[in-house]
Homo-oligomer: A and B are copies of this chain.
Amino acid sequence: MEKISKISESEWEVMKIIWEHGPVTSDKIVVLLGDEVQWTQQTIKTFINRLVKKGVIGYKKEGRWYHYYSLISKEECIKEESEFFLKRVFNGAVGTLVSNFLEEAHLSENEIEKLQMLLQEKKKKDESNQK
């Protein structure tokens, strides 16, 4: 559980691609980022390199190509990032955060129902814990 050195905004975009597309070459990353961002291929390579330096991604060589893959769990990262955001912007108040997002959001009926079930579950569990 050692400290993960912080991933910057831009590096996050790269990480998302790497998480989603398994071991992937740099030029594939460039292509996949294509419509998301405005960076040149050089810039993207800089970010890849910094991620390697930070030890959050690794690679295996294959011919002249490096295939990059993540060394850290996406879920773990999201969790950390979320906790940080929650604390920073909402002072740790999950209820406020959630209602804020819900108010602004537009959700499908299906999604709404899933959330309702989640809450129902939660309530039941709390009740049995309370007893």
Contact = CB atoms under 8 A, between A and B. Distances in A.
A89 B104 CA distance: 17
Interface in A80-131: 81-82, 85-86, 88-91, 94-95, 97-105, 107-109, 111-116, 118-120, 122-123, 126-127
Secondary structure type dominating chain A contacts:
helix
A107 B96 CA distance: 11
Contact of A95 (B82, B115, B120, B122): B115
Contact of A12 (B88, B97, B101, B115): B88
A60 interface: no
B122 A112 contact: yes
Given A12-B88, A81-B89, A82-B89, A119 B102 contact: yes
A9 B88 contact: yes
